[in-house]
Amino acid sequence: MELLDTEDTEDARVASRDRADRIENALMQNIAIDKEVPEDVVREVEVFELHTLSSAKIWEPIGFTSDFFALNHPKRHLKELRASLDSPDLAPVQSPASEESTGDRTASIGEEECVSNIFRKATLAEIKSPKHWRFAEQSWQIDLDPVQWVNANYIMDLVNVDTEEKWVYDFVDNDEPCDGQIFRRRRWIRQCVRAAEPSKDTKDPLLNVTSSERLSKTFSTLLS
């Protein structure tokens, strides 16, 4: 009975609340420390310079994109999918000359449609660093080891690598890829440095992910 009376005193309640506050403050401090990212943290970002082979067999630049756009990319199968949905019974009969002319025009429209679906920037200068990061002084550099990034992305069977010029070409069987287009790409890299910690009032929707994950997610949206 005396023990219960002691625990029920005002001093006991104050002491208990004080201990709880100290524990909570210690936990919050540790959580805040874990979330903070040192300003000297450096991460590498990448973009891909993309070219397409024209009907005149000339490589034409498309721009810089966050995706290497290999043969297995879903957007490169859209044209094939649309063609399979068209009923051949509804196709009008055309003369050979008309069919050839229309075929060329349809292919051209399909190619333009495919390229227009690629989110890209025309030049490296248009690309901005991710939020809360800044580019290092060193400018963009071509990745001199294309075999490494090809293997890392498991596209070895889909491409041919030119180790001298650093271009990675679509692997084409009988000069006819699945979408009627041939692409080549090369990887550009640049280092980013963690910028000064933003204001505490600034809300960061990606606060609960690590700095490397945040950098990857935010940078992939810069070209869209």
Q: pLDDT for 99-120, tens place per residue?
A: 444 444 344 444 555 555 566 7
**What pTM did the predictor assign?**
0.59
Domain contains 119: yes
Q: Could you tell me which of 169, 173, 175 has the C-alpha nearest to residue 156?
A: 169
Q: Is the pLDDT assigned to residue 36 strictly greater than 60?
A: no
CA 137 to each of CA 83, 144, 190: distance values in angstroms, whole numbers, following the listed order:
48, 19, 9
First to last CA, the chain: 71
Amino acid residing at 46: E
Domain contains 15: no
Domain contains 32: no
Domain contains 34: no
The span from the CA of 139 to the CA of 122, in Å, is 17
The radius of gyration computed from the CA coordinates of the chain, to the nearest angstrom, equals: 28
Domain contains 189: yes
Check residues 102 and 170 and name the one with the higher pLDDT: 170
Domain contains 62: yes
Q: Is the pLDDT assigned to residue 28 strictly greater than 90?
A: no
The span from the CA of 169 to the CA of 159, in Å, is 5
Q: pLDDT for 178-211, tens place per residue?
A: 556 899 999 999 999 987 665 454 444 433 334 4
Count up the domains in the chain and report the number. 1
Domain contains 87: yes
Amino acid residing at 93: V
Residue span of the structural domain in which 151 resides: 42-219
8 Å CB contact between 197 and 128: no
Domain contains 80: yes
User: What pLDDT, on the 0 to 100 scale, is given for residue 166?
Assistant: 96
Beta strands in the chain, from DSSP E residues, in sequence order? 42-53, 59-65, 133-135, 141-142, 159-161, 168-170, 183-194
Q: Is the pLDDT assigned to residue 213 strictly greater than 90?
A: no
Check residues 66 and 211 and name the one with the higher pLDDT: 66
User: What pLDDT, on the 0 to 100 scale, is given for residue 89?
Assistant: 44
